[in-house]
Amino acid sequence: MFVTVTTYSDEVLLSKLYGPQGTFYFTSQSPGEHIICLQSNSTRLVSFGGSKLRIHLGIRVGEHDLDAAITQAKDKVNEVGFKLEQLIEQIEQIVKEQNYQRDREEKFRMTSEDTNSNVLWWAFTQTLIFISVGIFQMKSLKDFFIAKKLV
């Protein structure tokens, strides 16, 4: 079925090919007469093919309010969309907080590693100083005893 809707001045508002079954809705934004043309695209003759063409045409003229069920469904969709946006914002906030915590953990780990390295070098330096002082004291004491002729 091929459907064409035109204005009285031959401006095409809708032109569409439908399958064996179909429903179409059309809302005109311009006032005035409109021409609806329905053409069958079947190549079978009705008397030989056994199939029949049925057309149910319902036309509503004038301004009509939307159905209450449609309005409620749209409200539900808007409400679900709003809640979905809130959840997405919460997820983004959680991701930001996790990234912040990872950065803090990395900085803390680097600080800890630097501190551990410094402590290790300080301990090594102290050990060298103690050994050096011990060797110096032993040499000085030995020289003192040799000078006093106690050894």
Identify the residue with better confidence: 121 or 79. Answer: 121
Q: What is the pLDDT of residues 37-64, one digit of tens each?
A: 888 766 665 555 556 667 777 776 666 5
Q: Give mean pLDDT, residues 103-123.
A: 97
Confidence of residue 105 (pLDDT cuts 50, 70, 90): very high
Residue 144 above 80 pLDDT? yes
> Rounded to an integer, what distance in angstroms lies between the CA atom of residue 1 and that of residue 38?
7
Q: What is the pLDDT of residue 42?
A: 67
